[in-house]
């Protein structure tokens, strides 16, 4: 049994319900959260996820990035968005398939059932796009 599952079980036994804030320094008690706007598409997370919970897709979700507010615009994909905006082109409607050999774009899909919140993807993430949300659900209402 995973530690988080064991904790939930014991917590339930002492009559606890609801959502628990997990201290920052602890791993293994939350689920990963993905910020598309910060992802640079390096796919290190997929390689380093020990649980096989992350799959890297070669899809550039242009409409989503177009919407994402990002100030520094340092990423390749931001520059494309900036270019589109500066050319006052219409807002793109569809994601784009990223051709092989083109790096720096792409998307991450997360299977939250598999995620154990160990934070390994977060530690390896180049763009700080992945972060374990330090929240544990005990369940059973509030």
The Cα 136–Cα 66 span in angstroms is 32
Total residues binding another protein (CB under 8 A): 34
CB atoms within 10 A of CB 29: 21
Binding mask 3-22 for another protein (x = CB under 8 A): xx-xx--xx-xxxxxx-xxx
CB 113, min distance to another protein, A: 14
The Cα 53–Cα 50 span in angstroms is 8
Q: Which residues pair with 110 in a beta bridge?
A: 54
CB 45, min distance to another protein, A: 13
SS3 1: coil
Among 40, 116, 125, 130, which residue interacts with another protein (rule: CB under 8 A)?
A: 116
The contact set with another protein (CB under 8 A) reads 1-4, 6-7, 10-11, 13-18, 20-29, 48, 50-51, 116-120, 123, 138
């Amino acid at each position: 049994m995973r530690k988080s599952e064991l904790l939930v079980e014991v917590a339930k036994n002492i009559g606890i319900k609801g959502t628990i804030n997990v201290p920052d320094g602890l791993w293994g008690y939350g689920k990963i959260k993905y910020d598309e706007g910060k992802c640079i598409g390096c796919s290190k997370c997929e390689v380093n996820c020990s649980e096989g919970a992350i799959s890297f897709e070669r899809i550039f979700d242009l409409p989503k990035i177009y919407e994402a507010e990002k100030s520094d615009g340092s990423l390749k994909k931001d520059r494309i968005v900036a270019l589109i905006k500066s050319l006052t082109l219409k807002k793109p409607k569809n994601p784009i398939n990223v051709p092989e050999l083109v790096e720096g774009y792409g998307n991450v899909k997360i299977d939250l059932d598999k995620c154990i919140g160990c934070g390994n993807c977060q530690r390896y993430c180049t763009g700080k796009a992945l972060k374990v949300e330090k929240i544990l659900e005990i369940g059973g209402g509030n």
